[in-house]
Amino acid sequence: MTDALKLGFGPFTAPAKGVLVVFCDDSLKFGPATAKALGSANGLVARAAKAEHFTGKSGSSLDLIVPEGLKVVRLTVVGVGKVSELTPKDFLKLGGIAMGKVPASAADGAVFAELPGGAMKPDQVADLAQGAKLRAYKFDRYKTKRKDDDHSVKSRAVTIATGDSSGARRAFEARDGIADGVLMARDLVNEPANVLYPDEFARRTLALKKVGVAVEVLDVKAMKKLGMNALLGVGQGSSHDSRMVVMRWNGGKKNDAPVAFIGKGVCFDTGGISIKPASGMEDMKGDMAGAACVVGLMHALAARKAKVNAVGLIGCVENMPDGNAQRPGDIVTSMSGQTIEIINTDAEGRLVLADVLWYAAKRFKPKFMIDLATLTGAIIVALGQEYAGMFTNNDELSHRLHLSGEATGELVWRMPLNPVYDKMLDSKFADMKHTGGSRWGGAITAAQFIQRFVADKTPWVHLDIAGTGFDSRMSDINKSWGSGWGVRLLDKLVADYYEK
Ligand code: BES
Ligand code: MN
Ligand code: ZN
């Protein structure tokens, strides 16, 4: 929730009761306006730097409390390393670091957007601001007791000081929308499953209408009619009915084929009859991180009025083990007509994707489709929490996503798809089983299964985000359990390659 942060751009004034953040390079050099603003405190900073062995290397910082000669309560100097080497990703990080120096107890903050070489460009200021916004996010709606360090301050106003406020404001508009998309995704992932069940998830996507996204919600009856029995089988053991949501943003040319994004929205994954062990099961409220990313992405694209036609589809179900639940050995007929023998009811995500992917390709004939799913523990074994696993039938998409990953810091690593794995999916009774029967190559057999539901050779990417969607590595721009991973990655992909 971000309502506690007021982020603005304006001329420099040191906040009287607040925190001032300034930047220096790795020779401890400030920009001319910063040096002037520090005035007599310049000497103090030099002495403190020496005492603390602060050298201004990228990401390091130096704090001075009630610095003599300045009105502020705290002055923080953040090192940027070598100015000539700074990339957009670095400005995001610096914004995050700066925001981290403005504690919740501070009334105001000012971040002096100047580098040793001089004023930052509007794009750089805007990146800094986006980093600050992402960093400031905190999911605390269920904390009724105020934290000790909260004192009486309810909201923080942080000013990014720049000589070109209107330029920065203009450059920030799109980034603000993208950041809102990330925060929306984080909120959805962080919500507990007693609050966010499939119908409630669908209801929350209706908020996208405000930014011009068309939203359709399909209920169980509608999905039955379409023959989506693979998806419906997963949800049948829950007292919460399944839903599919179709979101459309038409910012491109009228008859241009859309790009499509598909998300696994398992609101809670108990494993079903093949029930999971108790330890850590609470994390499975985040098993809808793929769907959350798709919703956040649709918001981002619409908010910044992306010149693209995009569709987002999410399959929302709850995987529970009641008397009506699906059993191992059951055989379901998917929308594609292919029959599936259920082996382990904990491999539910691929069943949801099977029907939603088939539907997406048939209905929209998209340029490409990308699915995101917290699909397998095996991908965490393979890649840890830094990279998402990428499986694709298309080299160009693979290359482009790789570059978008490097640019945004949301990294993807390509994994193999190959028919040699197919025999692991052979079933005695149906067209196929849905798990490989052994744990070896578990992320690959899952992808191999999903590929069978990609209709008409549609260019397709599967991103296994089990390691990155939640409980992943904290960073300077994310302190939240639900990371909102993928929104910035896919927004960048669209912006760089699919907008005319
Ligand atoms: N949602 C889980 C995968 C998961 C595990 C995501 C840990 C995030 C953190 C998925 O539905 C699942 O249970 N996968 C099984 C598949 C197996 C039964 C073939 C797994 O990975 O163990
Ligand atoms: Mn599962
Ligand atoms: Zn799952």
Q: What is the pTM of this model?
A: 0.97
- Contact of 46 with 28, CB cutoff 8 Å: yes
CA-CA distance, 431 to 447, in Å (whole number)?
17
pLDDT for position 156: 80
Atom of ligand 1 nearest to the CA of 344: 18
Give the span between the Cα atoms of 351 and 332, in whole angstroms: 10
Instruction: Report the pLDDT averaged over residues 99-126.
Output: 91
Question: What's the rounded Cα separation, in Å, for the pair 172 and 166?
Answer: 10
Examine the residue annotation and report whether 350 is marked as an active-site residue of this protein: yes
Average pLDDT in the 445-465 region?
98
Residue 384 region by backbone torsions, left for phi larger than 0, else alpha for psi between -120 and 50, else beta: left
Report d(CA 488, CA 372) in Å as an integer.
13
First CA to last CA distance, the chain: 34
Ligand nearest to the CA of 468: 1
Say how many Å lie between the CA of residue 368 and the centre of ligand 2. Answer: 26
Which of 350, 400, 488, 492 is the catalytic position? 350
Q: What residue's CA is closest to ligand 1, atom 19?
A: 347
- Residue closest via CA to ligand 1's atom 16 equals 347
CA–CA dist 53, 62 (Å, integer):
9
Confidence check: pLDDT of 150 > 70: no
Residue closest by Cα to atom 5 of ligand 1:
377
Question: Which pair of tokens denotes residue 230?
Answer: 């693979």
Q: Which of 276, 305, 362, 367 is catalytic?
A: 276
Q: How far does Cα 157 stand from its chain's mean position?
A: 25
Q: Is 425 in the pocket of ligand 1 (CB under 6 A)?
A: no
Using the predicted structure, report yes or no on whether residue 329 has a pLDDT greater than 60.
Answer: yes
CA of 181 to the centre of ligand 1 (A): 26
- Rounded CA-CA distance 416/261 in Å is 21
Q: What H or E segment, with its residue span, contains residue 124?
A: helix 122-136
Q: Please write down the HEC assignment for all residues of 31-56.
A: CHHHHHHHCCHHHHHHHHHHHHCCCC
Contact of 330 with 236, CB cutoff 8 Å = no
Q: What's the 374 CA to ligand 1 centre distance in angstroms?
A: 7
Q: How high is the pLDDT of residue 149?
A: 55
Q: Calculate the alpha carbon distances from 362 to 226, 306, 369, 419, 500 in Å.
A: 12, 24, 12, 23, 25
> Residue 2 — very low, low, confident or very high, per pLDDT cuts 50/70/90?
very low
Give residue-wise pLDDT tens across range 373-393. 999 999 999 999 999 999 999
Mean pLDDT of 407-427: 97
Distance (angstroms) between ligand 2 centre and the Cα of 181 equals 26
Active site (annotated) includes residue 428: no
Q: Is 464 in the pocket of ligand 1 (CB under 6 A)?
A: no
